[in-house]
Amino acid sequence: MAKANTSPARGMRDLLPDEVALREWATTEILGAYARYGFRRVETPALENIARLTGGQGGDNEKLIFKILKRGDKLNLSAAKSDADVVDFGLRYDLTVPLARFFAEHRGALGTPFKAIQVGPVWRAERPQKGRYRQFTQCDIDVLGDGSTAVEIELIEATLQALAALGFEGLVVRMNDRRLLGAMVAECGFDDARAGAVLIAVDKLDKLGVDGVCKELAEAEHPEPAVAKLRAFLERADSSGDPSGDGALDALAELLAEVEPAVNGIAGLRRLTAELNKSLPGGARVQPDPTLVRGMGYYTSTIFEIALEGVPYSLGGGGRYDKMIGDMIGGEVPACGFSIGFERIVLELQQRGMGPREVTKLAALLHDPKRDDPLAVTAAARAWRDSGVHVTVLPKRKKLGTQLDELAASGVDQFWVFVPDSAAQPKPLGEGAAS
């Protein structure tokens, strides 16, 4: 018989015990930190009605939906003109669209503000590529129904506590305000209608540098004086050499000195970051960064992103999105969220060898299962288990060496050949087999 294909579905992956243990530990620590800040976990089903997933809030992700075929009488393949005729549900591609629906459905039972944690898988039918999977875990906290900056403070503090609990040190949160970005683009003299494109270019500052960004803008035929004005600002912001971010903010304050709402906004950002810096855990700091853009979509004011020294991508980010939930479900619902890049965090933990305290895993081998008193083994095993050791009880095989090799492969690190009334003690695996 030909060997059957036993790979996971294309673009997906199996998780082996060591990785599951790491992910479980990380999840528990993160959830614990968030719970202490009053966040409560909710869960929505993996499937949503297809109409909800294709309502426009998902942007490009809507092209990547795994769609579910209708069943029974509802399925009429021969009359089908397009996808839409034969599907009724889809797998969620993020946790935000389901959260908005959840909030609308259960609002009365949830109280205000509603402080949600969500951790769970999402699915996107992307072309498979190294390190990117079609099922991955997202981890979001959101506060719905409160517009005060106490929310931003709490989201950032709680997230830094969560990452500190995992052992990360020296985290930097960059902060900006979507409205300041808008004022900056306008003040430089760019065309309002092309503001989005300008910000997409500015977003590449880390990769391209000031020259690269300005070159891209010039080539796209933005007005020369606007590009020059932006260049002057970016150069000053970039070269301030001030890791506090204050120098960059000074540069922005100078650029926008005549724009009254921006002056207030800059003062607000300065106050917020200063306040946060007085009380952050684990050597973390917050810095204003007037060049931080993030995905433009739905943010309305504060935006933030977590960076870790030496890591080229952010470990999470978020911001305030006061319109989106209201637009989806009607009414006004101020909202602010912080999303941890769970898969990236796991990758960093793996690469740095960080993780939970190791637990001793012991195999108790029955020398002669027929003769040995099973109760004695049970009692001994229970004592070990109560002391925190993970114990598996097995009959000793004739080929002990092979058995020990296989046990080592399965994660066991000590073994103990059980002979009643003997004083035999557990031995580390690898110290030589037969004994």
Q: Give the range of 173-181, 195-203, 346-354, 362-370 binding a copy of itself by CB under 8 A.
A: 362-370
Q: Give the range of 78-86, 236-244, 258-266, 312-320 binding a copy of itself by CB under 8 A.
A: 78-86
Binding flags for a copy of itself, 376-405, as an x/- string (CB under 8 A): --xx--x--x---xxxxxxx----------
**Which of 140, 142, 152, 157 is the binder for a copy of itself (CB under 8 A)?**
157
**Which of 59, 76, 106, 430 is the binder for a copy of itself (CB under 8 A)?**
106
Is there binding between residue 46 and a copy of itself (CB under 8 A)? Answer: yes
Q: Give the range of 147-155, 180-188, 313-321, 341-349 binding a copy of itself by CB under 8 A.
A: 147-155
**Which of 59, 76, 132, 150 is the binder for a copy of itself (CB under 8 A)?**
150
Dihedral-angle region of residue 151 (phi above 0 means left; psi in -120 to 50 means alpha; beta otherwise): alpha
Is there binding between residue 82 and a copy of itself (CB under 8 A)? Answer: yes
Task: State the Cα–Cα distance between residues 163 and 29, nearest whole angstrom.
Answer: 8
User: Residues 306-309: contacts with CB within 8 Å, 24+ apart?
Assistant: 306/159, 306/160, 306/163, 306/171, 306/172, 306/173, 307/171, 307/172, 307/173, 307/174, 308/168, 308/170, 308/171, 308/172, 308/348, 309/170, 309/172
Q: Give the range of 39-47, 166-174, 176-184, 301-309 binding a copy of itself by CB under 8 A.
A: 39-47
Rg value, the chain, Cα: 28
**Which of 61, 62, 75, 263 is the binder for a copy of itself (CB under 8 A)?**
75
State the minimum distance, in angstroms, from the CB of residue 236 to a copy of itself: 31
Is there binding between residue 66 and a copy of itself (CB under 8 A)? Answer: yes
Task: State the Cα–Cα distance between residues 115 and 335, nearest whole angstrom.
Answer: 10
Count CA within 13 A, CB hemisphere, residue 270: 14
Q: Which residues between 107 and 126 bind a copy of itself (CB under 8 A)? A: 108-115, 121, 123, 125
Is there binding between residue 38 and a copy of itself (CB under 8 A)? Answer: yes
Q: Which residues between 189 and 218 bind a copy of itself (CB under 8 A)? A: none
Q: Nearest 5 degrees, angle CA 302-CA 304-CA 308?
A: 165
Is there binding between residue 4 and a copy of itself (CB under 8 A)? Answer: yes
Which residues on adjacent β-strands are paired with residue 317?
Answer: 305, 339
Task: State the Cα–Cα distance between residues 226 and 220, nearest whole angstrom.
Answer: 12
Task: State the Cα–Cα distance between residues 419 and 238, nearest whole angstrom.
Answer: 71
State the minimum distance, in angstroms, from the CB of residue 235 to a copy of itself: 35
Is there binding between residue 434 and a copy of itself (CB under 8 A)? Answer: no
Query: Smaller CB distance to a copy of itself: residue 112 or 264?
Result: 112
Is there binding between residue 148 and a copy of itself (CB under 8 A)? Answer: yes
State the minimum distance, in angstroms, from the CB of residue 254 to a copy of itself: 27
Query: Smaller CB distance to a copy of itself: residue 84 or 200?
Result: 84
Is there binding between residue 408 and a copy of itself (CB under 8 A)? Answer: yes
State the minimum distance, in angstroms, from the CB of residue 289 to a copy of itself: 22
State the minimum distance, in angstroms, from the CB of residue 76 to a copy of itself: 11
Query: Smaller CB distance to a copy of itself: residue 178 or 361?
Result: 361
Query: Beta-carbon neighbour count of residue 30 at 10 Å?
Result: 24
User: Residues 332-337: contacts with CB within 8 Å, 24+ apart?
Assistant: 333/103, 333/144, 333/145, 334/144, 334/145, 334/146, 334/147, 335/142, 335/143, 335/144, 335/145, 336/142, 336/143, 336/146, 336/151, 336/152, 336/155, 336/302, 337/96, 337/140, 337/141, 337/142, 337/143, 337/155
